[in-house]
Structure 1
Amino acid sequence: MRVGVPKEIKNHEYRVGLTPTSVAELVNHGHTVIMESNAGAGIDFLDEDYVAVGAQIVETAKEVFAESDMIVKVKEPQPEEIAMLEPRHTLYTYLHLAADKPQTEGLMKSGATCIAYETVTSPAGTLPLLKPMSEVAGRMSVQVGAHYLEKEQGGRGVLLGGVPGVNPGKVVIFGGGVAGVNAAMMATGQRADVTIYDINPDRLAELDLHFGSTIKTQYASKRAIERAVREAHLVIGAVLVPGAAAPKLVTREMLSTMKRGAVMVDIAIDQGGCFETSRATTHDDPVYEVDGVIHYCVANMPGAVARTSTFALNNATLPHAIQIANKGPIQAMKDDPHLANGLNVSDGKVRHKAVADTFDDIDYEPLF
């Protein structure tokens, strides 16, 4: 198979779909890899690094799409990339369609087979291709939250860990999944006062056993959420409903009760965000204020630590990429129902129920 990797064009996105090591693996399986020139330059992978392991280099994304059967990316295709997709293409990348109807409709119109990293499952029912970026985003959320709590950034002027004689900052984390756990790890490492909220009692028990006395856990009732945001210095939204839009846990009304200079970091913004006042931002312009509360809603957070993120992502995505290339997408999905769960769009139809259920006028039509 001819596997193409274009240069990412989303704002400040320096990650790349395949590292030279991943390219070498695909070449060793007999496949052709076509890289857009400088696709990996943002993280110091030069064209000669890719040529050394057998890749072909072309000058433009248009050439990559024209000469490839499968397109491997990191972020969702931008409109100019969607325009280059054809029914013969397999697109393998993050999509997050539930928060993006124009992209959904564009991919349907293209006729391409579109497999989303974020809905591929594992035998244990986890999301193994989403996990590495959730780990990165969870850890980053505390890092950026602490930064924007600084007074010169417009924050409340609170040090998360406090100092002797001064209370630590209060960190509230909504969602006890991978992102939430990683946020808690970083926040407790800074000696913050951390509480995780979730609606699954079994998960709360697991978190209690894992963290012991270093965090508190609470059931995420509406009243508990109201109280939590009123007292918090840093609120982290880390709620995930696979393939679907994130629930709006913090309402506009709740926001008005928060401390001036508090910070909200919405990790779920790729899926529409879990705060009513959330809107996607970029690394160029990452924050905005509502009622004196700072919102950080960057839709590609891990892109800020692009080298770490690229290696972590490739570790997870490469095995499936090899199977798709070896067998073709249809046979690969027939052989692996967990990969088949990653199919979001093909032949102009939406193939993932959670995505279709998000939109009133788009029907779900399973392929298998």
Structure 2
Amino acid sequence: MIIGVPKEIKNNENRVALTPGGVAEFKKHNHTVYVQATAGLGSGFSDEDYVAAGAQILPTIEDVYGIAEMIIKVKEPIASEYNLVKEGQLIFTYFHFASSEELTHAMIERKAICLAYETVEKKDRSLPLLIPMSEVAGRMAPQEGAKYLEKPMKGRGILLGGVPGVKPAEVLVLGGGIVGTQAAKIAAGFGASVTIMDINLSRLRELDNIMPANVKTQMSNHYNIKEAIKTADLIIGAVLIPGAKAPHLITRDMLKDMRPGTVLVDVAVDQGGCIETCKPTTHENPTFIIDDVVHYCVANMPGAVPFTSTLALTNATLPYAVLLANKGWQAACSQNDELRLGLNVVNGEVVYKGVAEAFNLPYTSVNNVLEAYA
């Protein structure tokens, strides 16, 4: 198969979807890999590194899309890329369709095969291609929150861990999954007083057993959230419903209950956000203020630490990408339940229920589509 790796062009996105080591793995299976010039520089990989591993370098993004049967990316195609996508071309990347109706319609119109990292799912309901970036984003969230709590950043002027004789910051984490767990762990390491909320009592029991003494668990419901935000200095949104739009746990009218300079970090923003007032921002302009509350809503947080993020992501994605190249997407998805759940849009049809429901679009069973290709 011919694999193409374009350079990421989303604002301040420095990750790359394939390392030179990944190129060597594809070459071992007799596949051809084209990499756009300078695609890996942001992650520390030169064009020479890719050539040495067996890739061929192409000068433009148009060249890469034009020749590849499978495009491997990190982030979803943006508007300038839509027309580069060919009918029947396999795009393997993070899509987060439920947060963008424009992207969804664009891929439907292009009749691409859209296989989303974030909905590849194991039998135990874990999301193997989302976990690495969830771990990075979760660990970054308190780090970014601590920065924006500083007064020059319009925060409350509070040191996350406090000092002897002065209480630490109060951190509220909404969601006890991968992101929330990592966020709570790092915030606790800073010395903050942390409360983590979830709707799953069994999960709260697990967290209560493994977290340090400065992390408290609490059942997530509207009343508890509304009370907790009154004293929280940093609130981290870490709620995920795979492939679907995140629910709004904090609404616009709840901002009035927060103290001026409170910081919100919505890690779920690339899936619509669990804080109603959060809209996607970039590393270039990461924050905005509503009702004296600082909102940090960068949709590609791990892009700020590309060396770590690229290696963590490609460790997880490469085995699936090689399987797709070896068998073709039809056979691979028919034989592998995890990959089958990654299919979101196939040849103009929405085959993932969460995406169809987000925009009231017709839904076609992925099994029916695969049978048609058999």
> TM-score range, shorter-chain basis?
over 0.9
Are 2:247 and 2:273, in contact at CA under 8 Å, matched by a contact in 1?
yes
Match of 2:340 in 1: 340
Q: Does the CA-based 8 Å contact 1:40-1:46 persist in structure 2?
A: yes
**Whole-angstrom CA distance in 1 between matches of 2:311 and 2:178:** 18
In the alignment, the residues of structure 2 paired with residue 326 and residue 177 of structure 1 have an alpha-carbon distance, to the nearest angstrom, of: 33
Q: Which residue number in structure 2 is paired with residue 364 of structure 1?
A: 363
Q: Tell me how far apart the structure 1 counterparts of residues 249 and 366 of structure 2 sit (CA, whole Å).
A: 33
Contact 1:5 1:36 in 2 (8 A): yes
Q: What's 1:291 paired with?
A: 291
Question: Which runs of structure 2 are paired with 1:1-368 in the superposition (5 Å)?
Answer: 1-360=1-360, 362-368=361-367
User: Counterparts of 1:282 and 1:322 in 2: how far apart (Å)?
Assistant: 32
Measure, in 1, the Cα distance between the counterparts of 2:327 and 2:311.
25
Q: AA paired with 2:170?
A: K
Q: Distance in 2 between matches of 1:274 and 1:2?
A: 39
Residue 153 of structure 1 and its aligned partner are, at CA, apart by 1.0
Aligned to 2:63, the other structure's residue is in SS state helix
- CA displacement, residues 41-60 of structure 1 (integer Å, 9 cap, x when unaligned): 11221111000010011101
The CA deviation at 1:196 is 0.4
User: Retained in 1: the 8 A contact 2:5–2:64?
Assistant: yes
The code of the aligned residue for 2:78 comes to Q
d(CA) in 1 for partners of 2:150 and 2:341? 42
Distance (Å, rounded) in 1 between the aligned partners of 2:180 and 2:336 = 29
Work out the CA distance in 1 between the residues paired with 2:68 and 2:343: 19
Q: In the aligned structure 1, how far is the partner of 2:212 from the partner of 2:66?
A: 54
Per the TM alignment, residue 123 of structure 1 is displaced from its structure 2 partner at its CA by 2.6
TM superposition shift of 1:125 = 1.4
- What's the secondary structure of 2:229's corresponding residue? helix
Classify the secondary structure of the residue corresponding to 2:257: coil
Structure 1: give runs of 5+ residues left out of the alignment: none
After superposition, what is the alpha-carbon deviation per residue over 1:204-230, rounded to whole angstroms, capped at 9, x for unaligned? 111111115331011111110001111
TM-score by length of 2: 0.97
For the residues of structure 2 that align with 1:204 and 1:307, how far apart are their CA atoms? 33
- Give how far 1:126 is off: 0.2
Matches of 2:251 and 2:123, distance apart in 1:
36
Question: TM-score under structure 1 normalisation?
Answer: 0.99
Residues matched between the structures, number: 367
Q: Once the 2 structures are TM-superposed, how far is the Cα of residue 173 of structure 1 from its aligned partner?
A: 0.2
Q: CA deviation at 1:279?
A: 0.7
State the distance in 2 between where 1:212 and 1:143 align.
18
How far does residue 66 in structure 1 lie from its aligned partner after superposition? Answer: 1.0
The one-letter code matched in structure 2 to 1:111 is: K
User: Hey, what's the Cα distance between the residues in 2 that align with 1:145 and 1:244?
Assistant: 26
Partner residue, 2:372: none
Q: Please give the alpha-carbon distance, in whole angstroms, between the structure 2 residues aligned to 1:164 and 1:367.
A: 58
- Residue type at the aligned position of 2:365: P
Q: Which moved more, 1:39-48 or 1:103-112?
A: 39-48
Separation in structure 1 between the aligned mates of residue 227 and residue 214 of structure 2, nearest angstrom? 20
Q: Which moved more, 1:172-181 or 1:120-129?
A: 120-129
Letter in 2 for 1:364: Y
Deviations 1:1-60 (A, max 9, x none): 000000000000010010101111011111000001111111221111000010011101
Give the letter for the 1:366 counterpart: S
Q: 1 CA distance for matches of 2:149 and 2:327?
A: 50
Identify unmatched segments of 5+ residues in structure 2. 368-374
Q: Match for 1:41: what amino acid?
A: L
What SS is found at the alignment partner of 2:295? strand
Instruction: Letter of the 2:257 partner, please give it.
Output: T
Question: How far apart, in 1, do the equivalents of 2:134 and 2:199 lie?
Answer: 19
Q: Is the 8 A contact 1:230 1:254 kept in 2?
A: no
Letter of the structure 2 residue corresponding to residue 226 of structure 1: K
**SS of the counterpart of 2:365?**
coil
Q: CA deviation at 1:105?
A: 0.3
Tell me, in whole angstroms, the C-alpha distance in 2 between the residues paired with 1:271 and 1:309. Answer: 19
Runs of 4+ in 1 over 2 A off after TM superposition: none
Whether the aligned pair in 1 keeps the contact of 2:37 and 2:57 (CA below 8 Å) is yes
Q: How far does residue 366 in structure 1 lie from its aligned partner after superposition?
A: 1.5
